[in-house]
Homo-oligomer: A and B are copies of this chain.
Amino acid sequence: MELRLFYEGDNMKISEKGVCVKGFSAAGVKDGKYGLAIVLSERRCTTSLMITSNKIKAAPLLVSAEHAEKEVYGVVVNSGNANAFTGERGMVDAGVMCSAVASRLNLSSDNFLVASTGVIGRQLDMDVIEGLIERASQRLSSESSASVEAARAIMTTDTFEKVISVETVLNDGTVVEIGGIAKGSGMIAPDLNHATMLCFITTSAYIPENKIDEILSEAVEDSFNLLVVDGDTSTNDVVVLFANGMAGNRDVDENFTDSLNFVAKELAKMIAKDGEGATKYIEATVKNAASLEDARKAARAIVGSNLVKTAVFGGDPNWGRIVSAVGYSGCNLEQDKMSLFVSESGREVCLVRKGNPLALDSTEELEEAENVFAGSEIYITLDLGLGKAEATAFGCDLTYDYVKINSEYTT
Q: How far is the CB of A272 from chain B (nearest CB, A)?
A: 16
Q: Does A375 contact B (CB under 8 A)?
A: no
**Quick check: A54 and B406 within 8 Å, CB to CB?**
no
**Quick check: A56 and B316 within 8 Å, CB to CB?**
no
**Bound-complex Cα distance A307 to B361 (A):** 36
**Quick check: A121 and B335 within 8 Å, CB to CB?**
no
**Quick check: A402 and B310 within 8 Å, CB to CB?**
yes
**Quick check: A327 and B407 within 8 Å, CB to CB?**
no
Task: Tell me the number of copies of this protein.
Answer: 2
Give chain A's interface secondary structure class.
loop
**Bound-complex Cα distance A313 to B315 (A):** 25
Q: Which residues of A from 50 to 73 have beta carbons under 8 Å from B?
A: 52-57
**Quick check: A85 and B357 within 8 Å, CB to CB?**
yes
**Quick check: A324 and B403 within 8 Å, CB to CB?**
no
Q: Which residues of A from 159 to 206 have beta carbons under 8 Å from B?
A: 186-187, 189, 191
Write the A360-400 contact mask toward B (1 if CB under 8 angstroms, else 0): 11000000001000000000000000000000000000111
For A324, the chain B residues whose CB sits under 8 A away are 54, 56, 84, 120, 187, 232-235
Q: Does A139 contact B (CB under 8 A)?
A: no
Q: Which residues of A from 98 to 142 have beta carbons under 8 Å from B?
A: 119-123
Given contacts A235-B327, A324-B84, A403-B398, contact A121 B319 (CB under 8 A): yes
For A56, the chain B residues whose CB sits under 8 A away are 323-324, 326-327, 333, 335
**Quick check: B311 and A407 within 8 Å, CB to CB?**
yes
Q: Which residue of B lies closest to A335 (CB)?
A: B56
Q: Does A6 contact B (CB under 8 A)?
A: no
Q: Does A43 contact B (CB under 8 A)?
A: no
Q: Does A208 contact B (CB under 8 A)?
A: no
Q: Which residues of A from 318 to 366 have beta carbons under 8 Å from B?
A: 318-321, 323-328, 331, 333, 335-336, 352, 355-357, 359-361
**Quick check: A232 and B314 within 8 Å, CB to CB?**
no
Report the 5 A-B pairs with minimum CB-CB distance, sorted nearest first. A120-B320, A314-B407, A56-B327, A310-B406, A121-B320
Beyond contacts A54-B324, A85-B357, A121-B359: 9 other A-B pairs, Cβ-Cβ < 8 A, are A55-B328, A56-B323, A56-B326, A122-B360, A230-B306, A310-B402, A314-B406, A316-B409, A399-B403
